[in-house]
Chain A
Amino acid sequence: MRIEEITGLLEAEILTVNHDKDMDIRSACGADLMSDVMAFSKENAMMITGLVNPQVIRTAEMMDIRVVVFVRGKKPQPTMIDMAEERGIAVLSTELPMFAACGKLYQQGMHGRGDS
């Protein structure tokens, strides 16, 4: 799923510019615990979270997560946006709550298992 599709599906605002607009996101994880995200090891992945702090971007970097979606209209601080821009991570913000955001993505074929 391309970022444009994800943005449309979640009625999300995109907060970064420096990322690959054509990347194909194949799997997703939804978590507020970065410890859980660290146990999720898939390629071309996105993260849906309600947690807003710099370690979210750092965790995404370490896990090769290409897109981070903040739910419930949460907006990251400018320093977090800068961190994401430097790392080519796309950051989105949606008014949807976590459950609805995950549900909409799942319904469109985005599963947690990646290609395997």
Chain B
Amino acid sequence: MEPGVIIREYTIPANDFVVAGEASSSVRKLLNQMGVAPAVVKRTSIAMYEAEINAVIHGHGGRAHVEIDSEKIVIRISDDGPGIPNVELAMQEGWSTAPDSVREMGFGAGMGLPNIKRHADAFHLDTEQGRGTTVNIIVHFR
């Protein structure tokens, strides 16, 4: 491990809308404590929370791995869910495969992935049908 790198691991429970967002909330608190600029904290929060909610909704839960150094935050959220059959469609605003139960919770409008991309400095999606999805997000502090 490089000196000065903070690493955090979180478990994201499946279909639990009460604790969904706990990982993002913890990272947000950590960044605030570190004195990261509020605009950067907000961009990171939005990107990570969207990815975390996706893992809850679509991925049967998953894991978040977070690395913070003096320049950036790297977030990797992975799940063992069904994978995304058509990434091009999934990246379109408004495209969603979320069930009604998720929509009743206020999510599943098909804005998640595009919103992550919008707020991240780097965004990469690895997905394989039947194997799962990993979302990689980097946000630079300046």
Contact = CB atoms under 8 A, between A and B. Distances in A.
A35 B106 contact: yes
B111 interface: yes
A63 interface: yes
A51 B106 contact: yes
Contacts of B25: 58, 61-62
A77 to B, nearest CB: 10
Contacts of B112: 35, 38
B61 to A, nearest CB: 16
A36 B24 contact: no
* Secondary structure of the A contact surface, majority rule: helix
Contacts of B53: 55
Interface string B92-103: 000000000001
A53 B108 contact: no
A1 B42 CA distance: 23
Mostly helix, strand, loop or mixed at chain B's interface?
helix
B45 A33 contact: no
Contacts of A53: 17, 105-106
Interface in A39-54: 39, 41, 51, 53-54
Nearest to A52: B106
B20 interface: yes
B81 to A, nearest CB: 19
Contact of A56 (B24, B38, B50, B106): B106
Contact of B109 (A36, A56, A58, A62): A36
Interface of A: 32-36, 38-39, 41, 51, 53-56, 58-59, 61-64, 79
18 contacts: A33-B106, A33-B109, A34-B106, A34-B107, A35-B111, A35-B112, A38-B112, A38-B115, A39-B115, A51-B106, A53-B17, A53-B105, A55-B17, A55-B107, A59-B106, A62-B28, A63-B42, A79-B18
The 4 closest A-B pairs by CB, nearest first: A35-B109, A34-B106, A58-B21, A62-B45
